[in-house]
Amino acid sequence: MASKLAVVGLASALAIGLCIVRPARAHAQDASMDFKIYCSRCHGENGKGDGPDAGTLKTPPRNFTDCATMSKISDATMFKAIKDGGAAVNLPNDMPSWSAGLDDDEIHGLMAYIRKFCKQ
Ligand code: HEC
């Protein structure tokens, strides 16, 4: 009995945890919202790599306004980096994988948003 309760308790704690970590897919955000929520803490609201968490990382987050560097990254590589994380494209795993939180459409939206930092 006690152990059954513990299992139920654990399951609901996990369910609540998942809800907090992962906003419901049904409300797919627009790209600027996604960027603010998921990316700006490292990459900065203006894409300069100066978000509030940037200083906690071993590798500085990419500065999206560094157009010389950004223009060398193909769409395919950028997609992979966002979806599967830095390690998937030989970057440090300080860049997290987003395959669990963002669908492909949202990732494409974010790519267009990031590219705009170099299209004035
Ligand atoms: C925990 C901090 C952190 C968060 C959150 C984060 N990134 Fe990154 N990102 C990094 C780091 C670190 C790198 C690697 C920089 C380097 O090696 O120059 C990186 C690199 C990148 C790159 C460059 C990939 C390449 O091929 O060169 C892109 C694009 C990128 N991030 C997009 C995003 C997007 C989109 C989000 C939000 C969904 C995001 N990042 C969230 C830390 C983060």
Q: Which of 36, 62, 94 to mutate to test the pocket of ligand 1 (most atoms within 8 A of CB)?
A: 62
Integer Cα distance of 37 and 113 in angstroms: 14
What residue owns the CA closest to ligand 1's atom 30? 82
Atom of ligand 1 nearest to the CA of 107: 35
Q: Is the dihedral of CA 95, 98, 103, 104 positive or negative?
A: positive
Q: Whose CA is nearest to atom 6 of ligand 1?
A: 39
Quickly state the pLDDT bin for 119 (edges 50, 70, 90): confident
pLDDT, tens digit, for every residue of 27-47?
Answer: 556 999 999 999 999 999 999
Residues 6+ apart with CB under 8 A from 74: none
Q: Are 79 and 107 in contact (CB under 8 A)?
A: yes
Pocket test for ligand 1, best of 53, 83, 95, 104 (most atoms within 8 A of CB): 95
Question: In the predicted model, what is the mean pLDDT of the chain?
Answer: 87
Please give the number of the atom of ligand 1 that sits closest to the Cα of 41: 5
| Contact predicate 86/61, CB 8 Å | no
CB 106 within 8 A of CB 25: no
Atom of ligand 1 nearest to the CA of 111: 35
Kindly tell me if the per-residue pLDDT of 102 is higher than 80. yes
pLDDT bin (cut points 50, 70, 90) of residue 26 is very low
